[in-house]
Amino acid sequence: MKAVILVSGGMDSLVTTAIAIDQGYEPAAMHINYGQRTWQKELESFRSICRHFGIRESLEVDAPFLSRIGGSSL
């Protein structure tokens, strides 16, 4: 069974991906760049997580419009 996992690139994403795999799911990973200050490092970490777990399906989405509704300084 597949599971779509939203992966920011942080520790929570790493653990969530590991748990999904451990529970028998085949992960498809998605990363959303919403214009955060650390977007380059997060994207690099996302790609690293995908490589580490051998994730075959991944999607990188640019959605800068999301910054208009959140105002996060991350």
Of 69, 66, 62, 52, the closest CA to residue 13 belongs to 52
CATH architecture of structural domain 2-70: 3-Layer(aba) Sandwich (3.40)
Average pLDDT, the chain: 92
Dmax of the chain from CA atoms? 37
Q: What is the pLDDT of residue 74?
A: 57
Q: What percent of the chain has pLDDT over 90?
A: 76
Other Cβ atoms less than 10 A from the Cβ of 23: the count is 9
Of residues 66 and 60, which shows the higher confidence score? 60
| Token pair of 35 as six digits | 């214009």
Q: Where are the domains of the chain?
A: 2-70
Cα 46–chain centre separation? 5
Write out pLDDT tens, residues 38-53.
899 999 999 999 999 9
Please state the rounded mean pLDDT for residues 14-41: 94
Cα 38–chain centre separation? 13
pLDDT at 4 over 90: yes
